[in-house]
Structure 1
Amino acid sequence: MPSEGRSRYNDKQAITLITVHARNIENERNQAQCVFHGYHRSFGGISKSSKSGLVAVGWASWVVKDVGEDLMGWVPRKEKSFHILDNIREDNYNIVYRTLDLEKKKIVALKKITFNNLAGITFRPGLKSTEPQIADFGLAYYYDPAQVWQFTNRVVTLWYLSPELLLGASSCDSARDLWTTGCILVELYEGLLANDLVIYLHDNFFHGPIPNEIGQVFRLQYLYLKYNNFEGGFPANLSYCVDIRNISLFHNDLKGKLPTEFASWPRLNLFNLGSNHFTGSIPPSIGNVSTLRLLSLSSNNLAGAIPLEVAHLTKLGYLDLSTNNLSGRVPLCLYNVSSLSVVGLNSNELEDTLPADLGFNLPKLQEFYIGDNRISGPLPASIINASNLAIFVIDHNNITGPIPMNLGSLSNLQVLNLGNNPLGDSQRSNDLTFFSSLVNCTYLYELILYKNGLRGELPNSIVNLSTSIEKLYLFTNDIYGGIPREIGKLVNLTVLQLDDNLLTGTIPASIGDLTKLGNLYLSGNKISGAIPPSIGNVTQLIVLHLEDNMLQGSIPTGLFNISSLQELSVTNRRLGGVIPEQIVGLSSHCVFLYLDQNLFTGRLPSNIGSFKHLVALDISYNKFRG
């Protein structure tokens, strides 16, 4: 019967390589290394009836003696015909290498098995094979109910041995193997197979309830079932797994109440039940897990207040309670958990103000999300002291200004979202100088300041923002002045929204340097002059809104060559000329086309009917004929 971890050698097996180290066996080929390889078969020069011929070509005599008949026609490979690249795995029995077969020019696995004493190993008599491609004799032996085998009691491992063998017996039969099998099955059932048992079933399509029997895996430490379709409630018996460290059930279809037996998990580090359908409140008992470092309950249907006990989690580094129905005040003591680096409270119904010392009390803060709540009061000036801050999102609240002038001290800042807050109400009139400070934020890629009531002239320093800036939202404010001529320096912009302001002047020609721009909104201003022909260089443009300005002249022909354009709106009252046949260049993707309330003349291009995806076409209030 094969020993644990070995493969039985039979007619149909086809595994590639194995190397056998034979040491001091019959005093021949001391420390010889032979490779069995099924693709290297030769019938020339070998007598199929001569065992001496097998020895002559390289087979060890002890191998020929036991299985010589099965080796007829096979030539052993030497280790030097393989180039070892790296070590894949190593244990007490063998070493597995990733190697290059120098003859076949292929990457193959090479296993070396070391036997210090092969006495007592027997191979199955009369074993036949057709095209064997592995021979792993290992520590396996065959079972014959009519014969009791005598073996050495010097074994590789003492685990799972029957009492007779532990006391020195050398005979082995099926009863001894049955003992071993029973030991393994019992440990599998009781969950004692390993000291650090891990269950990784994430990123699959498992469904149905999580079996309560999982609570019988007493030594379970890591449970990852995220990204599946498990249903039902939280497995109640999991409280019996007192050694558990990480529980991740993220993104399933679980529902019901959250567990309350948090005291049962004194070593818990990670608890992630986000993106499920749990209801009820957050149990205060969660504060009993002093070891907790990550807590995520986001995107559920939880209600009620955030319990004060959450602030007892003094090692907590990641907290995400976003996208629930939580209400009431944010516990002030939560802002004193100095270990916090990520705080996610957005998309709830939370109230209260942000503490004035926010930036001082959270020195490790990297990401802060509290948008889409009912937070009021001033924006804490101390935020500039959170030197590790990378993402700051407080949009859709009632937070007032002023905006700190030295935001540039946040050298790691990547995303600043202050949108839809009345910050301008407390901002000094005509003071947008904080933009100049943001020039020092070299990692900034998203700046969101829409619907803030900001008043003042758009500073030229905006073009000196980091070239990493990708998204710039300044719409629906009271910003005046012109678009800086060097706006094209922001070469990585994908979204530029300056609509619904008081901008004047012309669209600068450098707009054509923004070749990555996908969305451009300049509507609702007082911009005049012509649409620059360089806009045709923005070949990745998807949305272009220029309506409600004072633009004149014709639409540049190059604009119609931007095949990616899906929305084009130029309602202006002053654009004119003939719509050229080149408009067909928009036909592959265009969904909304608004040319109304202008001075366009001539006939509507005949190929307008080729627009495959067009949903809305407005050409009213023009001078088309025909």
Structure 2
Amino acid sequence: MAKMKLSLFGLLMIFFFLFNLCLSCPGDQKQALVQFKSLFMKATNSSADDPLFGLYSWNSSSDCCQWERVICSTISQSRPVIALYLDSLVLMSFFEVTTISSRVLTPLFGVTSLMILDISSNYMQGEIPGHAFANLTKLVDLDMKLNNFTGSIPPQVFRLSRLRFLDMSSNKLTGDLSKEVSSLQNLRELSLEDNRFGGSIPEEIGNLSKLQQLSLRRNSFVGGIPSSLVSLKELQVLDLSENSLSMEIPDEIGDHLTNLTTLVLSDNKLTGGIPSSLQKLSKLETIQFDKNLLSGEIPSWLFDIKTLKKLFLGGKNNLTWNNNNAKIVPKCTLSQLSMKSCGLSGKIPGWISTQKSLVFLDLSENQLEGPFPEWLAEMDIGSIFLSDNNLSGSLPPRLFQTLSLSVLSLSRNNFSGELPENVGDAIKLMILMLAGNNFSGEIPKSITKIYRLLLLDLAGNRFSGKPPNFDPEALLAFIDLSYNEFSGEIPVSFSLDARILALGSNNFSGNLPRNLTNLSKLEQLDLHDNGITGEFPRFLSQISTLQVLNLRNNSLQGSIPDEITNLRNLSILDASINNLTGKIPAKFGNLVGMIDTPNTLSSNPDLFTFLIEYSDLIVNWKKSKLGLSRYNLEIYSLLDLSKNKLSGQIPTSLGSLRGLKLLNISYNNLSGNIPVSFGSLESLESLDLSHNKLSGLIPPTLVKLQELTTLDVSNNKLKGKIPVGGQMDTMDDPNYYANNTGLCGMQIHLACPVEPPPPKPQEDEKEEAYWVSWQGVAIGYPISFLLTVVILWFSGYFQAALASSQRRRRISIRQNNLRSVF
């Protein structure tokens, strides 16, 4: 009996073993997944046990159907893998992204049973392996967004006939969109946004009869919107924004796309008016037509679309609003409304007060006037944009009692008075832009209570006193208090996360405080037009992240320290109009940020879905003041040391700064020659060396500067011919060469004196010279001989030898007579 029980137990164990074996994933698929993990870990130098990757459960001793990110079939006894969710495997920081090669995917293409494959957000690079994808014929859902795939979409992808969802957005894919896309007859969603596709959108895309969502935004598509799109009867979302599409919006779009809920065509070159057929779309919730070339009146029937929630018009359009005095009674309930630059005038339209669900309002760049309405302050709107109007008066305190206010942009109006003391009650405020108004008084101290505040722009007002002390642990990263009436020492009580600190054109005085080095993430420091004294601080070199340093028009003295060249990211340095002395440091040639201008500045992350308009960085650019947008400072690199008391020679090492676009060292006491190495400044657009004591020639190497548009060498001691060729031929303003000792050339309409070459002797002159030469020999030789004889006679030589050498004397005389003949 005992043996029978043991045997029965063994049979049960064998049964359960075989049963579990049947419920395990296939061995070849497990091996493929383990191989993928190994390649992935090797490519990222990661630990296999790191739980953040979600692959720590993947090991060959367990059933892969139990692994995280793996789904197996429950229908088939072989339990094949049908879904892999491999998104976000690559860890990344805010500024550093790890990239891995697409070759690590190779083992996955052996799992031919896959129906869902998600490899999004991994920053993989390389071309999409088309031949490998041909194996995955059962794929229904393919998600490859947020990687760095390059090249075109391989044709094998368009042959995955079962695909319903295809997302390749946010990659670097190029080329035209193939008409083979029409082969994906089962496709419901197609997202190719944020790539580099070009050409026209193929008409064949209209054959995707089951398509419900189509997003091609942020590419480079051209031509018109395909008329075939009106055949997509099931289409609910259409996003073609941020391309270069032109021509008119198809009139039939509202007659056929009856299921459409979202229509986004922003930021193209579309012309014509708003199609009247849109009012037939009974499900339409979103209309975004802003930043096009549309014209005509904004129809009031838009507000009769009951389902409408988001309406974006204006921007670059030429649309006009002629309903200022009409009584608009909207039938819709809007959550977002943008009528930027739509010709609105008078007071802020009162019908907006009926939109109780409004969370976003943009009426900027119009001609609105009057005070900030009390009813608007009470609406509890999250984002309010009213900049670039003619609004006036003070701000109602009620505005800052709202529980939702996160963005308030009122720049460039005529608001005045002091800020309400309760501004700090808006604890959710992230962006506060009040630049270009007439606000006065001190900044309320309560503003420091807004912990979430990221950007504070109060430039161009009449604020005075001292700025409040912000918490070092606050999130405030962008501070612009320039062009006000603040006084005292330079404040340093800001967030340690500060990236931009603009305090220019105030009444600050004293030495620069060493505590500035606590702002270790600072990228832009703008202190121009103050009363800062003392020596050029060496400690600034400790802020290694610094990219822009503007100290223009202060009272700094002493020499420029060599340590400043340790700022490897510095691409803009303006120390003009100070009292700096000494030599220009030769180590300036080591400023990496001016050798290779950086591609990006990390000070402007894309944190918001709308444009944040920072105040420009004002510099002296080509003889005039110019505002450089802080959005694209990465394309500029300049060095301005003008109007100081610098002396000595110009270091030849400055010729290494190939990224420089502007070099201004005028109005100093510099001497010596212009370095020949300046011919290597390949990006230079403006070169000002005027009002110094430079001498010698203008180096011919300047003809190599193909970007040069401004050259000023006036008021020096230069001489010689002005070089010709290249851009130097266009540098023809005589004022830019004036007051030198001897310049000449076609640029100043002064011919250079011609130096005659040494004359070439003619043939007859050569013969005459040959005869005269021998004639001189015939005459001169006997004379010299007779003189020698006379000297020897009087010295007694001949008297001693006369008796014994009469014969020798006669021979000598004959020989001399014979020579005289020749």
Q: TM-score normalized by structure 2?
A: 0.51
SS at match of 2:701: helix
Q: Is 1:273–2:351 an aligned residue pair?
A: no
Q: CA deviation at 1:98?
A: 4.7
Q: CA deviation at 1:560?
A: 3.0
Specify the alignment match of 1:46 in structure 2: none
1:608 to 1:262, Cα distance in 2 relative to 1, 3 A: closer
Q: Is 1:514–2:569 an aligned residue pair?
A: no
Q: CA deviation at 1:379?
A: 1.7
Q: CA deviation at 1:433?
A: 1.9
For 1:506 and 1:330, how far apart are their aligned partners in 2? 47
1:579 to 1:620, Cα distance in 2 relative to 1, 3 A: same
Q: Is 1:504–2:591 an aligned residue pair?
A: no
Of 419, 430, 433, which aligns to 1:344? 433
For 2:421 and 2:393, how far apart are their aligned partners in 1? 16
Q: Is 1:391–2:478 an aligned residue pair?
A: yes
SS at match of 1:593: strand
Of 572, 582, 599, which aligns to 1:495? 572
How many aligned positions are there? 463
The answer (yes or no) to whether the contact 1:232–1:254 under 8 Å persists in 2 is yes
Q: Is 1:84–2:139 an aligned residue pair?
A: yes
SS at match of 1:310: helix
Q: CA deviation at 1:371?
A: 0.5
For 1:619 and 1:613, how far apart are their aligned partners in 2? 10
Specify the alignment match of 1:612 in structure 2: 730
For 1:545 and 1:271, how far apart are their aligned partners in 2? 45
1:135 to 1:287, Cα distance in 2 relative to 1, 3 A: closer
The answer (yes or no) to whether the contact 2:697–2:719 under 8 Å persists in 1 is yes
The answer (yes or no) to whether the contact 2:669–2:692 under 8 Å persists in 1 is yes
Specify the alignment match of 2:708 in structure 1: 590
User: For residue 717 of structure 2, what is the amino acid of its counterpart?
Assistant: L
Q: Is 1:449–2:531 an aligned residue pair?
A: no
Q: Is 1:413–2:501 an aligned residue pair?
A: no
The answer (yes or no) to whether the contact 2:187–2:208 under 8 Å persists in 1 is no
Specify the alignment match of 2:412 in structure 1: 323
The answer (yes or no) to whether the contact 1:376–1:397 under 8 Å persists in 2 is yes
Of 284, 292, 304, which aligns to 1:204? 292
For 2:209 and 2:537, how far apart are their aligned partners in 1? 76
Alpha-carbon displacement from aligned partner over 1:176-222 (angstroms, at most 9, x marks no partner): xxxxx9x999xx9988834x722222332222221111222233211
Q: CA deviation at 1:462?
A: 1.1
Q: CA deviation at 1:354?
A: 0.8
The answer (yes or no) to whether the contact 1:329–1:350 under 8 Å persists in 2 is yes
- Taking the TM superposition and a 5 Å limit, the aligned residue runs for 1:67-466 are 82=137, 84=139, 86=141, 96-98=164-166, 109-112=183-186, 193-194=282-283, 197-227=285-315, 228-233=317-322, 239-241=329-331, 243-290=333-380, 292-359=381-448, 361-380=449-468, 382-385=469-472, 387-407=474-494, 410-424=495-509, 427=510, 430-438=511-519, 440=520, 442=521, 444-466=522-544
Rg (Cα) greater in structure: 2
User: For residue 445 of structure 1, what is the amino acid of its counterpart?
Assistant: E
The answer (yes or no) to whether the contact 1:590–1:614 under 8 Å persists in 2 is no
The answer (yes or no) to whether the contact 2:184–2:208 under 8 Å persists in 1 is no
The answer (yes or no) to whether the contact 1:506–1:530 under 8 Å persists in 2 is yes
User: For residue 321 of structure 1, what is the amino acid of its counterpart?
Assistant: L
SS at match of 1:466: coil
Q: CA deviation at 1:344?
A: 0.5
Q: CA deviation at 1:537?
A: 0.9
Of 633, 642, 651, which aligns to 1:532? 651
The answer (yes or no) to whether the contact 2:442–2:463 under 8 Å persists in 1 is yes
Alpha-carbon displacement from aligned partner over 1:398-434 (angstroms, at most 9, x marks no partner): 0113333454xx232111000000011xx4xx45323
1:96 to 1:531, Cα distance in 2 relative to 1, 3 A: same
SS at match of 2:531: coil
Specify the alignment match of 1:54 in structure 2: none
Percentage of identical aligned residues? 28
1:261 to 1:510, Cα distance in 2 relative to 1, 3 A: same
More contact order relative to length (CA 8 Å, sep ≥ 6): 1
1:264 to 1:481, Cα distance in 2 relative to 1, 3 A: same
Q: CA deviation at 1:391?
A: 0.5
Decide which structure has greater helix share.
2
Alpha-carbon displacement from aligned partner over 1:491-515 (angstroms, at most 9, x marks no partner): 2322110011122222112211224
Q: CA deviation at 1:262?
A: 4.2
Alpha-carbon displacement from aligned partner over 1:348-374 (angstroms, at most 9, x marks no partner): 122222123432x22211100111111
For 1:279 and 1:266, how far apart are their aligned partners in 2? 23
The answer (yes or no) to whether the contact 1:597–1:620 under 8 Å persists in 2 is yes
The answer (yes or no) to whether the contact 2:661–2:683 under 8 Å persists in 1 is yes
Q: CA deviation at 1:525?
A: 1.5
1:537 to 1:299, Cα distance in 2 relative to 1, 3 A: same
Q: CA deviation at 1:387?
A: 1.0
Alpha-carbon displacement from aligned partner over 1:257-287 (angstroms, at most 9, x marks no partner): 3112444122110011112332333222102
User: For residue 525 of structure 2, what is the amino acid of its counterpart?
Assistant: L
The answer (yes or no) to whether the contact 1:84–1:98 under 8 Å persists in 2 is no
For 1:537 and 1:280, how far apart are their aligned partners in 2? 56
The answer (yes or no) to whether the contact 1:414–1:446 under 8 Å persists in 2 is yes
**Structure 2 gap segments, 5+ residues each:** 1-133, 144-161, 169-177, 189-205, 211-255, 261-276, 595-636, 744-752, 754-822
Q: CA deviation at 1:447?
A: 0.9
Q: CA deviation at 1:99?
A: 11
The answer (yes or no) to whether the contact 2:360–2:384 under 8 Å persists in 1 is yes
For 2:737 and 2:669, how far apart are their aligned partners in 1? 18
Q: CA deviation at 1:471?
A: 1.4
Specify the alignment match of 2:773 in structure 1: none
Specify the alignment match of 1:12 in structure 2: none
1:245 to 1:624, Cα distance in 2 relative to 1, 3 A: same
Alpha-carbon displacement from aligned partner over 1:59-87 (angstroms, at most 9, x marks no partner): xxxxxxxxxxxxxxxxxxxx999453636
Specify the alignment match of 2:742 in structure 1: 624
The answer (yes or no) to whether the contact 2:328–2:351 under 8 Å persists in 1 is no
**Structure 1 gap segments, 5+ residues each:** 1-78, 89-93, 115-132, 138-180
Alpha-carbon displacement from aligned partner over 1:32-59 (angstroms, at most 9, x marks no partner): xxxxxxxxxxxxxxxxxxxxxxxxxxxx
Q: CA deviation at 1:608?
A: 9.1
The answer (yes or no) to whether the contact 2:685–2:708 under 8 Å persists in 1 is yes
Q: CA deviation at 1:377?
A: 1.6
User: For residue 714 of structure 2, what is the amino acid of its counterpart?
Assistant: D
For 1:457 and 1:575, how far apart are their aligned partners in 2? 26
Q: TM-score normalized by structure 1?
A: 0.66
User: For residue 738 of structure 2, what is the amino acid of its counterpart?
Assistant: S
For 2:429 and 2:661, how far apart are their aligned partners in 1? 39
Of 469, 473, 495, which aligns to 2:550? 473
For 1:609 and 1:367, how far apart are their aligned partners in 2? 43
1:365 to 1:485, Cα distance in 2 relative to 1, 3 A: same
Q: CA deviation at 1:528?
A: 1.9
For 1:300 and 1:280, how far apart are their aligned partners in 2? 10
